[in-house]
Chain A
């Protein structure tokens, strides 16, 4: 798709192929064939042009539709995912917010989230009945990706819609066509305005019957939300080290981590008015730091991924030398610190960040999972892998030699 207009695309064929049939929401706009073609071109570009599979994209659509309580798209994506083989249990977990719909914050996932917001707005505006028996959306707030897409990316993706709308001005006037055009324009405006995407999601945001977690920052956050800007300085004093460590964990570079701290705190201040206390504030802050780090990583190294590598499944210990009885006594504190820092930095990022938060920052498994968007099993698995890798790396320094002393 270019900014001069959408490439020729048969919208009807595209939607039939993607969904297996022509959904009502697109059929209803068929009088505006240029607009529907443009939507299809945009869908093909966003849904077909990224590394995400259809299943991954639809998971994001389902979570987004539930977050905005859009029954039409929740029903459609639910059905699509069922056909693709996703179990009812997993679908319920996505809808209730117990499962993250995506593996990590990538630009592709962000674009699909934006696309999902866009199509939800169109469906609401058209008041379309679902194509299947409507599913019921649970009360819990599902987790969706948020973040700011670069304006250039948004602009290039929406060029097809703009071109179609401009072309339509020369087409036939009257009746429902104007209403549809207004809906599409409004949806496009929302799609293009990053500020209108939801605020960063709060981890563990499922509504709990047991009450809110006890948060030592609650009073301070409330003061800031009431306009006491100076109180934010206290927040930074309390959490700078944790934010720094999270960024070191993701980026593997202390200098870059320090640069990222400013971005993280500014983003937190920007969105703090939307923080509702469903998780601890510090957990929310760490999730912002994590996302900030990942974004910087993407800018630095687009090919690098925090995705678990399947080959790591077969990690086997290689060091079987016993360690000396009191290894911490072998080195001065400063030397131990340097040893740990050097070897933590050598860990793959996906293990380094969880080890940093779990063992160095001493967060609970739940807090780490909530901040990083990982389930409990994933946190435990990555922590263990990080610890075993550290063990291998430290062994040469602490292994007992044949003479009974340190190696």
Chain B
């Protein structure tokens, strides 16, 4: 019988869809009876989606161009060290 700590031990694999069928069935059975684990799982899935979709930490094109110019300038002058 899967308990909460067993579920938490597998939540990483579950979020990646990397769980064997039988174990998945056992984890889903646990979720059906455990509100806390269901909340954690749902909100963890949402967290991954929010972080992935957020478009965070984009590099402004101006910065990218400046870095490129500086690096190429030093390379062409032979000052790479």
Contacts and interface: CB of A to CB of B under 8 A. Distances in A.
Interface of A: 229-230, 232-233, 236-237, 240-241, 244-245, 248, 254, 258, 261-262, 265-266, 269-270, 317, 319-323, 327-328, 333, 336-337, 339-341, 344, 355-356, 359-360, 362, 380-381, 383-384, 387-388, 390-391, 394-395, 398
Contacts, number: 124
B12 A381 contact: yes
Contact of B67 (A258, A320, A337): A258
A229 B76 contact: yes
Interface string B31-70: 0000110011011101111111111111100011001101
A240 B39 contact: no
A237 B13 CA distance: 34
Contacts of A321: 39
Contact of B71 (A236, A248, A356): A236
A240 B48 CA distance: 24
A179 to B, nearest CB: 34
Interface of B: 8, 11-13, 15-16, 35-36, 39-40, 42-44, 46-59, 63-64, 67-68, 70-72, 74-76, 80-81
A241 B70 CA distance: 16
Given A229-B75, A387-B47, A387-B48, 20 more contacts: A233-B68, A236-B64, A236-B71, A237-B68, A240-B67, A241-B64, A244-B57, A244-B59, A266-B80, A269-B71, A269-B80, A320-B35, A322-B42, A336-B53, A339-B54, A359-B51, A380-B16, A383-B12, A387-B15, A398-B46
Q: Is the interface of B mostly helix, strand, loop or mixed?
A: helix
Given A245-B57, A269-B75, A387-B15, A323 B46 contact: yes
Contact of A340 (B13, B51, B59, B74): B51
Contacts of A317: 8, 40
B43 A232 contact: no
A233 B42 CA distance: 43
B50 A340 contact: yes
A381 B11 CA distance: 11
A269 B73 CA distance: 13
A262 B57 contact: no
Given A262-B71, A322-B43, A394-B47, A270 B81 contact: yes
Contacts of A269: 71, 75, 80
A260 to B, nearest CB: 10
Nearest to B5: A316
A356 B54 CA distance: 12
Given A229-B75, A240-B68, A244-B57, A328 B47 contact: no
A398 B43 contact: yes
A362 B52 contact: yes
B46 A327 contact: yes
Nearest to B38: A322
B43 A323 contact: yes
A323 B40 CA distance: 9
Contacts of B44: 387-388, 391
A146 to B, nearest CB: 15
A254 B36 CA distance: 36
